[in-house]
Structure 1
Amino acid sequence: MATTDRQATTLALAHALSAAERGLAVIPLSRTKLPALRSPHRDDPDPAPCHGACGRPGHGVHDASTDPTRVRELFAAAPRATGYGIACGLPPHHLIGVDLDTKTGTDSSAALRELALRHLFTIPATMVVVTPSGGRHLWLSGPPDVVVPNSAGRLAPGIDIRGAGGYLVGPGSRTGHGTYATAPGTAHLPPAPCPPALLRLLLPPPRAHHPTPPSDGGRGRGLVQFVLAAHAGQRNTRLFWAACRAYEDGIGPALVDPLVDAARATGLSEREARATIASAARMTGHRP
């Protein structure tokens, strides 16, 4: 590897460790902005879905960690990494990224201002990252009991949203097109709370409920196991996802207590678990 590449990896690790100190879970990225670690299941003849439950690195954003020892291990396994990604939707910040793109031929900043005028909200002072192409990433903080999905162009042309299961390229990362950097005067700012009116625009409308009685308990057991396999930083997000699927499958009420027990086994309190499940019920159009 060239000296410049080694320096880029060392610098990316330093930036990633600094972000982890601020409570932001990180993963190493390649010059293409993709996760730098290959999947450990790439050669499996019939790979089963795995989001890190196997314990090996290479699961993309599911590897994200704030533990400095773990972060160093991830970068040691990815010696060609030149950047780092910051996982969205995880505590304590529950990060939401508003990606204002410049490559679509539209003025995404103007589109966001128009939305703000129409829906009566303002974007607060917050961390802003400038991309090599001149775009901007606005960092916002979401409520702990709400899961914001990823979307591309749904809010307006040129505006992409990075939510739960997504990640933002961290400032200081080097890519094939240049380096990501914080906008002047924003590096010291924490992610500001997402305005409620904007948050409502980011959430999908409730799905129509079509109950599907399960033929057996296999689906329910799978959702409970999904929650039990959560690492630190994934517990609330996994519980919310599993509860949403349970209510959509018509087994939500029957699975509340097993999901609460699974969440408590991962370290969540019963109060946190029941609040998250209730939020999932409301999101899917059910009464908690």
Structure 2
Amino acid sequence: MPRPDHTRALHAALITAARGLPVIPLSRSKLPAVRSPHRDEARTTACRGECGRPGHGVHDATTDPAAVRALFAVAPWATGYGIACGRAPLHLVGVDLDVKHGTDGVTALRTLAESHGFTVPQTVTVLTPSGGRHLWFTAPGPVPNSAGRLAPGIDIRGTGGYVVGPGSRTVAGRYLLAPGTGAHPLAEAPPTLLQLAAPPPPPLREPEDERPRHPMEKRAAALVRFVLDSHEGERNGRLFWAACRAYDSGFGAALAPALVTAAVHTGLSEREAAATVASAGRLRASAEP
């Protein structure tokens, strides 16, 4: 027999899907509930659903009610649902305002709006168990994910990411619609906010005849280019490999900022990119005699 939390989450997910927002079931840990069909394979795969089976995270997200019910049916432990961001035609953007660990994203966004001269419009707002909130906006096109780039306590959920939907229960508690906001239409994200959320430009490529001639500089430039050429599904792996090679060559600390910037340009968040580079540094440090 379905558990009440599972039934409530499915019902809320169907309502959200009817608004044109694609959804997936989530576990109590806020992770996709449908297990990967490739989990027992010896090698990792870049499959995003081409195999025809469910279990590919945000790539499973759908607005089709029958498909939503099918996803929840194979994950009876699901107690929540996620809403895929960045999908056409709405290109949902979730602005995650955190108020824990000494940060106050709500105040930070207000300060940001005042200092840059834009207004945060009323829109659908979700209250999080920690006391924070998610603001839902539409965008004219894809917006990258970021963590803390705008200000401490402000994360952006864009293309490839998802927000936890209202009516979900997680280990931290329930996600609920803020009173009076459920009937709001999705507001357009302020253009200035989207400009501020854009990733920094990639490192400039030098003209052929002015490229570094020193072998070490050539090696560093090649590692940055290796990261810039990453595609979804391989970005973290290529970044980690490049960072390890940089530390092996003795210039890991010096090249780390450029590697992080390059990774952000491919779509990783600054926090995730910095953590990956730091992991490579720790690995190489522990391997030293």
Q: How does the TM-score come out when normalised to structure 1?
A: 0.70
How many Å separate the matches in 1 of 2:204 and 2:38? 35
- Note the alpha carbon deviations across 1:118-159, whole angstroms, 9 max, x for none: 111110010000001111001111103xx2111111110011
How many Å separate the matches in 1 of 2:205 and 2:48? 28
Identify the residue that residue 75 of structure 1 maps to in structure 2: 72
How many Å separate the matches in 1 of 2:205 and 2:151? 30
Check the 8 A contact 1:104/1:158 in 2, yes or no.
no
Identify the residue that residue 102 of structure 2 maps to in structure 1: 105
Check the 8 A contact 1:97/1:168 in 2, yes or no.
yes
Identify the residue that residue 157 of structure 2 maps to in structure 1: 162
Tell whether 2:166 aligns with 1:171: yes
Q: CA deviation at 1:207?
A: 1.7
Letter in 1 for 2:68: V
How many Å separate the matches in 2 of 1:131 and 1:96? 16
RMSD over aligned Cα atoms:
2.0
Q: CA deviation at 1:19?
A: 0.5
Tell whether 2:195 aligns with 1:200: yes
Letter in 2 for 1:31: R
Match among 121, 132, 135 for residue 135 of structure 1: 132
Letter in 2 for 1:203: A
Identify the residue that residue 117 of structure 1 maps to in structure 2: 114
Q: CA deviation at 1:108?
A: 1.5
Q: Identity percentage over the alignment?
A: 64
How many Å separate the matches in 2 of 1:102 and 1:50? 36
Q: CA deviation at 1:209?
A: 5.0
Identify the residue that residue 239 of structure 1 maps to in structure 2: none
How many Å separate the matches in 1 of 2:89 and 2:20? 6
Q: Which moved more, 1:63-72 or 1:99-108?
A: 99-108
Structure 1 pair 48/209, CA: closer, same or farther in 2 (3 Å)? farther
Letter in 2 for 1:141: T
Letter in 2 for 1:169: V
How many Å separate the matches in 2 of 1:18 and 1:184? 17
Task: Describe the SS at the equivalent of 2:47.
Answer: coil
Check the 8 A contact 1:96/1:142 in 2, yes or no.
yes
Tell whether 2:182 aligns with 1:187: yes
Structure 2 segments unaligned to the other structure (5+ residues)? 207-224, 230-264, 267-289
Check the 8 A contact 2:106/2:132 in 1, yes or no.
no
Match among 32, 45, 48 for residue 45 of structure 2: 48
Structure 1 segments unaligned to the other structure (5+ residues)? 212-244, 250-282
Pairs aligned (count): 212
Identify the residue that residue 84 of structure 1 maps to in structure 2: 81
Match among 15, 18, 24 for residue 21 of structure 2: 24
Check the 8 A contact 1:127/1:138 in 2, yes or no.
yes
Identify the residue that residue 95 of structure 1 maps to in structure 2: 92
Larger-Rg structure:
2
Task: Describe the SS at the equivalent of 2:114.
Answer: helix
How many Å separate the matches in 2 of 1:45 and 1:107? 43
Identify the residue that residue 149 of structure 1 maps to in structure 2: 144
How many Å separate the matches in 2 of 1:30 and 1:118? 39
Give the ranges of 4+ consecutive aligned residues of structure 1 lying more than 4 Å apart after TM superposition: none
Q: Which moved more, 1:102-111 or 1:186-195?
A: 102-111
- Note the alpha carbon deviations across 1:90-124, whole angstroms, 9 max, x for none: 12321101111111212221111111011111100
Q: CA deviation at 1:48?
A: 2.3
